[in-house]
Amino acid sequence: MTDVTADPRDPRPLIGEPLALDLLNTRWAGTPVNDLLTGVEEYGIWLSSNGLSGRCAADEAGLAAIRETREAIRLAAQEARDQGELSLRAREGLDAVLAHGRIRRTAGPGGAEDRVEADRPEWLAPWLAADDFLTLLGQGAHRVKQCAHEACILHFFDASQNGRRRWCRMAVCGNRAKAARHYVKARG
C-alpha cells in the first residue's frame, strides 16, 4: 500500500495497491467492465491517486502509453500467476516500456541518489509502473494475485505472513464467497 491519499474523484473499489497493481485495478468488474482509463481526465485522476500528477501530465500521449503498459503488466501478471514465470512475449512487453527510461545514480549530499529519467515525459508513469511490477516479482511472483472471487478482476499484493490471502477485500469479496457457501449449505 502507498502513503498517497487517493483522489476523491477516483471511483475504483480498490485503491492503494502498489503502483503496478493499482494500474491493473483501473479495470474492475461490471457489465461492461469498468475502465478508469477511458480519457485524459480519468488518466489525470489515476495520476493524482498515485501522487504522480505533479510529475506527469495527463495528456493523450501519456494515456496511450499507460494503456500499453497496463496490457503488458496484465499479461505478465497472468503468466506469473499461471506459469510461475514470464514468457518471451511478456518480457518483451515489459522491456518495451522499460526501454523508455532509466535510473540515473548521482552523488548527493548524503551519498548515492537515484533519479528516474524517461526519454519522453509521457513514459514516466508507465516506466514507474513497469519497474514497480518487476520489484513485486522480485519479492515473490506468488504474492501478485488476482482476487479469488469469481466475479472480481482486481489484483493485490499478498503481504500476509503466510502468503494465503485470497480476496482483494475480505469485507466485500470474502464475505460474498462465505455467504454463497452458506446459502448452498443451507439449501442442501
pLDDT for 4-27, tens place per residue?
789 999 999 999 999 999 999 999
Residue 149 domain flag? no
Residue 169 confidence (pLDDT): 86
Grid coordinates belonging to 24: 491493473
Residue 132 domain flag? yes
Residue 186 domain flag? no
Asked if residue 92 lies in contact with residue 99, where contact means CB atoms within 8 angstroms, the answer is no
Measured between alpha carbons, how far is 170 from 168 in angstroms, rounded to an integer?
A: 7
Average pLDDT, stretch 31-47?
97
Residue 174 domain flag? no
Asked if residue 21 lies in contact with residue 27, where contact means CB atoms within 8 angstroms, the answer is no
Residue 182 confidence (pLDDT): 43
Structural domains in the chain (count): 1
Residue 55 domain flag? yes
Residue 153 domain flag? no
Residue 74 domain flag? yes
Domain containing residue 56: CATH number? 1.10.3300.10
Measured between alpha carbons, how far is 128 from 123 in angstroms, rounded to an integer?
A: 8
Residue 181 confidence (pLDDT): 53
Average pLDDT, stretch 39-60?
98
The whole domain housing 66 covers: 19-139
Average pLDDT, the chain: 92
Residue 33 domain flag? yes
Grid coordinates belonging to 127: 516506466
